[in-house]
Structure 1
Amino acid sequence: MKLGMIGLGRMGGNMSERLLNDGHEVVVFDPDSSAVDALAEKGASAASSLGDVVSQLEAPRTVWVMVPSGDITEITVNKLVELLEEGDTLIDGGNSNYKESQRRGEHAAQTGIDFLDSGTSGGVWGLANGYCLTVGGNRDAYNRNRPIFKTLAPDDSDGNLHVGPTGSGHYVKMIHNGIEYGLMQAYAEGFELLAAKEDFKLDLGAIAENWTRGSVIRSWLLDLTVDELEKDPQLEELSSYVDDSGEGRWTVDASVELAVPAPVITAALQMRFRSRQSNPLGGKMLAAMRNGFGGHAVKKAD
């Protein structure tokens, strides 16, 4: 198939290359012209603007958007809705909020454009290993674009799934990322407990590697942990500051809206907030209250 790819960052660039490697024709655009040039050298058709992408495609067109969620996605999608025509397909493969995807789908439908929201998981490893895709939107539009999804997925019969109506693809990806938060926090707590038992002098890297060999908790996240501990056994080169990109917050919001308890995911998100604080006021308040009601000793600030 021939399609346009908007956004050539860590994900979009590798996805374009994977599509090219499987014989698809890809028209690429990114504000960073060097990223466009790099893909052009690998066989993509370079475009200088969104309009140029659309002009290089024949109806019915397919344009995949792979840009950061929020304002950039909003601006890009709105512009493409103006440029595309009835019968064309617009795919948002980024980590957009599912409610925004529902709204954008309704907006696109007003001019007869099919809007698909694709939850896309695989990270920087996707070029070689493929991407796990959960797609929301019109099933006929999904089927028309199935060759694209098959190429991007790890296997042409697995790893790409139409999950429901518009917004559902990004909703499923949001929950996926919430689960990811919980899993990562559990590993982090476990390894911190291992390290705290100093008299045992435990080798964290060796234990992590051993756990990848048939244990109940083996996973790709554990495989990555092994790699990181091999490079830096005590992770001394890293700070404990942990960012979040939004999906964990949205997952917790959904748990409140739906009245479905999600204590593990919520705690994992809160621990990321705590990781960014230095000598937080909350801890001082606890110390002050303990001292006040029981005369318990406190540690004075340096």
Structure 2
Amino acid sequence: MTILAIESSCDETSAAVITNGEIRSNVVATQLIHTLYGGVVPELASRAHQQHILPVADKALNDAKVTKKDLDAIAFTRGPGLLGALLVGTSFAKSMALGLGIPLIEVNHMQAHVLAHFIDDPKPAFPFLCLTVSGGHTQIVKVSSPLEMEIIGETRDDAVGEAFDKTAKLLELPYPGGPLIDKYAAAGDPNAYAFPLPEMPGLDFSFSGIKTSFMYFLQKQVRENPAFITENIADVCASIQYTLVDILLKKLKKASRETGIKEIAIAGGVSANSGLRKSILEMGQNQRWNVYIPAFEYCTDNAAMIAIAAHYKFIEGDFCDQTVSPLARMDF
């Protein structure tokens, strides 16, 4: 079973090849143009995907030492993501599958982040809880099988990845700012400044309030000392990172206690944050959890996670309907 997987949900064009559950190639083309604008510009992302998708897919096949004739299916990211970016990957995958006469598999981007844990060993045992954290999502997912997942907690407003990026922008750090906060935080005191924690019921999150609080904090400090940010960048970054990670782990700890599940994983772009990785390992020791953290290359958007998700869907025969009919274009 050999599958070519395509990922194009945001600003990375990626293709991967998987054979019988083993990743044989994983190619990612990053779009650097967005750094000029302080964030992802959807139209520019779509155009870059159009430029990158063919050479990226071709390299993935070459790196895996397979040809189009060796493929048994094509997989793609159905969503969530930027509409135009998704359309590029979807159109490419559909046309290639139709041209080769092989099945097409659609994959949910967030489920793929969770299943990235099944690319390499060690793999979590079922059921497990996965804290899925990215620029657009913050969720606690109960995973009962590769294709059976339940969201038991999620953000009511902004995602934690957006909170990292917006606070970085307030600090006048270039995009993407989240990794830079992590970098500066390594040399700072996480207890230098305190920020109020949101009060949310159950297992849900909220990050809009802390962004506002951080903005007012900076405005006050800069009024009193215009050089405040420059002089205290490490401590400020360490403090806001500590607060955001603390919000995440308190809810994850509560979820573990309520469900009784001690198999704990993290996934998504923010799972690359060193502060989160270190803190969840420390909490895991205190709570006697088995903690699973994906390799850095499988944290951010990549096609390998789409491929492993497609692997399990192929086993179940979960394919897309590829019927093409002129009636689809007629409005009765």
TM bin, normalised by shorter chain, reads 0.3 to 0.5
TM-score (norm 2): 0.31
The higher-RCO structure (CA 8 Å, 6+ apart) is 2
TM-score (norm 1): 0.33
Determine which structure has the larger strand proportion and give its number.
2
